[in-house]
């Protein structure tokens, strides 16, 4: 009998771990309020989301309830999906707390402040800033995942699209691939013209994340996406050989709002 009870307990524990953290509430909110306006960009219905802010806050409370000791037992995909969703959900909450008086996330925090330095996000046993979640939890050697830059969302038009679904461990690889390809295919931010490739300044700000510091790492990363960037074989070779010049597009900090 003891053996049977122990076996059942182990089975249930393994089953619960396999199911992972439940992001369904956040998934429903995103599906209801985020719309693809073209293959590369979404807009957020913040007015509609305000009517469901209580549901968002319930989800945030569920994130806050996770202990670091529990988080540390999860596999890496589960951890990364959790942190990406946390960053995006807390960003939405920050916007809603200041909406509709703002036209940009950068309007939050005052003249000498920054929205990314506000300590308000309850996560893994502490009160975090958005910068802390991104730079000290997500951009770490544990994950070493440059594609997170196309998944975390800064509530701005210039940012890669806020996905209309929550990230999950089982779908994470496919979701990151899709986010990257969609963003690189956006000709308003990434475009080849002659011997010049215009790319998002994200590649300048976070060049060290793209397989090493400096332009070489960025070039290697971009060369893996010739179809998304509309590069011919010759242009891909020229990119890798340093014969394609890189320039950076302007970053639009306007709110990614439906209004």
Reported as a single tens digit per residue, the pLDDT across 145-168 is: 999 999 999 999 999 999 999 999
DSSP 184-240: HT-TTTSEEETTEEEE-THHHHTGGGTTSSSHHHHHHHHHT-HHHHT--HHHHHHHH
**Euclidean distance between CA atoms 27 and 31, whole angstroms:** 6
Residue 14 falls inside a structural domain: no
**185 inside domain:** yes
- At residue 20, the pLDDT reads 81
Is residue 254, in this structure, part of any structural domain at all?
no
Report the distance separating Cα 52 and Cα 33, nearest Å. Answer: 10
DSSP state of 165: S
Q: Give all strands (DSSP E) within the chain, no chain letters.
A: 34-38, 41-44, 121-123, 126-128, 191-193, 196-199, 245-248
Cα 78 to the center of its chain, rounded Å: 14
**How many independent structural domains does the chain possess?**
1
Please report the pLDDT score of residue 166 as a whole number.
98
- pLDDT tens profile 198-232: 999 999 999 999 976 455 799 999 999 999 999 99
24-72 pLDDT, tens digit per residue, is: 999 999 999 999 999 999 999 999 999 999 999 999 999 999 999 999 9
Enter the tokens of residue 187: 């000709």
What is the rounded CA–CA span in Å between residue 152 and residue 145? 12
Span 171-199, mean pLDDT? 97
Domain assignment present for 12: no
The answer as to whether 115 is a domain residue is yes
In a domain, 2, yes or no: no
Whether 223 is covered by a domain: the verdict is: yes
In this predicted structure, the answer to whether residue 14 has a pLDDT above a threshold of 70 is no
User: What's the mean pLDDT when you consider all of the chain?
Assistant: 92
Does residue 244 lie within any of the structural domains?
Answer: yes
Domain encompassing residue 233: 21-248
């Amino acid at each position: 009998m003891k053996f049977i009870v122990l076996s059942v307990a182990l089975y249930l524990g393994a089953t619960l771990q396999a199911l992972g953290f439940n992001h369904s509430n956040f998934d429903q909110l995103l599906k209801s309020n985020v719309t693809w306006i073209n293959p590369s960009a979404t807009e957020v219905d913040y007015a509609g989301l305000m009517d469901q802010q209580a549901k968002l806050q319930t989800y945030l409370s569920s994130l806050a309830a996770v202990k670091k000791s529990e988080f540390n037992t999860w596999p890496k995909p589960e951890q990364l999906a959790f942190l990406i969703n946390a960053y995006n959900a807390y960003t939405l909450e920050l916007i809603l707390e200041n909406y509709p008086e703002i036209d940009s996330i950068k309007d939050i925090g005052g003249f000498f402040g920054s929205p990314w330095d506000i300590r308000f996000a309850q996560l893994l046993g502490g009160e975090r800033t958005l910068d802390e979640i991104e730079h000290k939890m997500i951009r770490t050697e544990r994950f070493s995942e440059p594609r997170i830059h196309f998944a975390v969302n800064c509530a701005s038009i210039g940012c890669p699209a806020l996905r209309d679904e929550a990230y999950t461990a089982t779908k994470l690889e496919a979701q990151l691939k899709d986010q990257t390809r969609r963003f690189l295919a956006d000709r308003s931010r990434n475009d080849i013209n002659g011997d010049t490739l215009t790319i998002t300044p994200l590649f300048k700000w976070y060049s060290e994340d793209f397989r090493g510091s400096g332009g070489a790492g960025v070039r290697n990363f971009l060369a893996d996406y010739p179809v998304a960037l509309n590069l011919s074989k010759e242009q891909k070779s020229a990119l890798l050989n340093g014969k394609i010049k890189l320039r950076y597009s302007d970053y639009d900090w306007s709110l990614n709002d439906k209004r």
